[in-house]
Amino acid sequence: MSQPNSRNPRPSLLGDLLAGVLADAGIEQRVAQASVVPEWPTLVGAQIAAVTEPLSVSVDGTLWVAVQSHAWMTELSLLEPELLRALNTHPERPPVQRIRLTLKRD
């Protein structure tokens, strides 16, 4: 293995390259905001995660969530302020502004 020098630079880390591509494309903040989707179960807890499925985050910061039943939709709409606080705990991530609930289709 050769030593790094000016003619043979060290390889870049994939994460660093990807961050640069996202920043150059102007979507770095959108990708960061959308990270609430895979983090949903951790952020809202097992009980809510069991009856919901986060779908997407729109450009205006709306998180779309599919919900198992009308009863849960009502409950979650009442819990929206608490859910938004849980979702927006990472200060470096653009905040989710609102949650829109839709009935889950099987």
Query: Residue ranges of the domains in the chain?
Result: 34-103
Using alpha carbons only, what angle is made at residue 106 by residues 31 and 79, rounded to the nearest 5 degrees? 55
The number of CA neighbours under 13 Å toward the Cβ of 51 is 14
Give the per-residue pLDDT at 10.
Answer: 76
d(CA 58, CA 68): 21
**Confidence (pTM):** 0.72
Distance CA 82, CA 87 (A): 9
Say whether pLDDT at 3 is over 60: no
Say how far apart CA 57 and CA 59 lie, in whole Å.
7
Cross-strand bridge partners of residue 89: none
Q: Which CATH architecture has domain 34-103?
A: 2-Layer Sandwich (3.30)
At residue 4, the pLDDT reads: 53
Per-residue pLDDT tens for 42-92?
999 999 999 999 999 988 899 999 999 999 999 999 999 999 999 999 888
